[in-house]
Amino acid sequence: VPMCHQNVVLIPAILTVAEATGATGIEAIAALAIAYEVESKIGLAVMPEHMAAGWHPPITLGMFGAATAASRLMGLTVDQARAALGIAGAQTSGIRKNLGSMTKGFHVGHAVRSGIHAAQLALLDFSANQDILDSNPGTGHDHFSFQETFNPGVDRLPEVIGNLGEPWELSLANIAIKRPPGATSPGAVLDALIDIVTQQDLRPEEISEIRIGTNPILAAIPHYPTATTVLNARYSLRYSSAVALID
């Protein structure tokens, strides 16, 4: 499953629409499974290049997940649901440069709101390109697809979409709860530091230096070398490591 933080968008969207429509628990779970599948498969088609280019997947991909969930719970037709995805694509935005500010959380809320709004508009027969995810070879418009817009020259979508439900991404045992309040990737570092301190019964005054070996992607996500605010402290590996050892 690609690291899209699917549930941070899907759960609020589903709870909101399920309450408004009077959906049952089973209907809400079905919407979650379907929306998780759609968003994850799109993620598999565009990641990791998509994130490496600077996009923030919870909003760029979360739009489609929220729109799918809302479409299911609101009983949209196939054509309306496809239009909802097109409307979601019209609102896709969000860059990782905003991590460490209030805008990071705004990305998630915007994805929830916009995905639901897309389904509401589609239910009113608001039109949109129903092939928003697909390339159209030979028409001169293939670069207008979501795939070509965000990952020029990379086209994994046909293969990925052909495997919808095989397997269901939600059924795979690789979903984890995100414990650190900021970036996900440093979680392994922080867990390791806490284990070392606990096992060795270390005190802060006994530690003179922390050396961390990691990969460039993990090192780039918590990109603040020093912490100046509560928000960017969550994206400072140096600060988070020190806090993990002290607390």
- Which pTM was predicted? 0.83
- What is the C-alpha separation between 108 and 102, in angstroms, rounded? 11
DSSP label at residue 135: -
- What is the C-alpha separation between 88 and 208, in angstroms, rounded? 50
Q: List helix spans (H) across the chain.
A: 6-21, 25-46, 49-52, 57-60, 62-73, 78-90, 102-123, 146-150, 157-161, 187-200, 216-220, 230-233, 237-246
Return the pLDDT at 9: 95
- What is the C-alpha separation between 241 and 218, in angstroms, rounded? 14
Return the pLDDT at 119: 98
Beta bridge partners of 223: 236
Q: Please give the chain's pLDDT, 247 residues, in tens.
A: 566 788 999 999 999 999 999 999 999 999 999 999 999 988 888 888 888 788 888 889 999 999 999 999 999 999 999 999 999 999 988 888 888 788 888 999 999 999 999 999 999 999 998 888 876 655 655 556 777 777 776 777 777 777 788 888 888 867 777 777 777 767 888 888 999 999 999 988 898 888 888 777 677 776 788 888 888 888 888 888 888 888 8
- What is the C-alpha separation between 175 and 138, in angstroms, rounded? 39
Q: Measuring CA to CA, how many Å separate 61 from each of 57, 225, 228, 243? A: 5, 28, 30, 32
Tell me the residue type at 14.
I
Return the pLDDT at 143: 57
- For the purposes of burial, counting CB atoms within 10 Å of the CB of 22, is it exposed (0-12), middle (13-18) or buried (19 or more)? exposed
Half-sphere exposure of 131 (CA within 13 A, CB side): 11
Return the pLDDT at 138: 58
Return the pLDDT at 227: 85
